[in-house]
Amino acid sequence: MTTTRADSKGRVALGKAFANSPVIIQWVSSTEARIVKARVIPESEAWLWDNQEAIGMVKRGLQEAGKRSFAENPPDLDCIT
């Protein structure tokens, strides 16, 4: 356990492990806070992470691309409007 003191504005340095990272501060009580590193995604992309089938397809496609496993007859994307 480390003991430190908040400055005059209530700030405490968290160290390099938290540098430039978004965090969630959960107030457990009036005297206790829990700080958790977070990742933030744009609202317009949240649907993908909420849709297990869609995110599965993206992950599978990325794995296949990483293995250079491409379709022999890819779809004609120019015909899609």
* Segment 17-52, tens digit of pLDDT: 999 999 999 999 999 999 999 999 999 999 999 999
62 part of a folded domain: yes
22 part of a folded domain: no
* Residue pointed to by tokens 């649907």: 47
Domains identified in the chain, total number: 1
- End-to-end alpha carbon distance in the chain: 59
pLDDT value at residue 78: 86
Work out the pLDDT band at 81, boundaries 50, 70, 90: low
Percent of the chain with pLDDT over 90: 79
Tell me, what DSSP letter sits at residue 31?
T
Q: Stretch 62-77: mean pLDDT, rounded?
A: 88
Instruction: Let me know: does 61 contact 49? Beta carbons within 8 Å.
Output: no
Give the residue numbers spanning the domain of 60.
Answer: 43-70
36 part of a folded domain: no
58 part of a folded domain: yes
pTM of the entire predicted model: 0.52
51 part of a folded domain: yes
pLDDT value at residue 41: 93
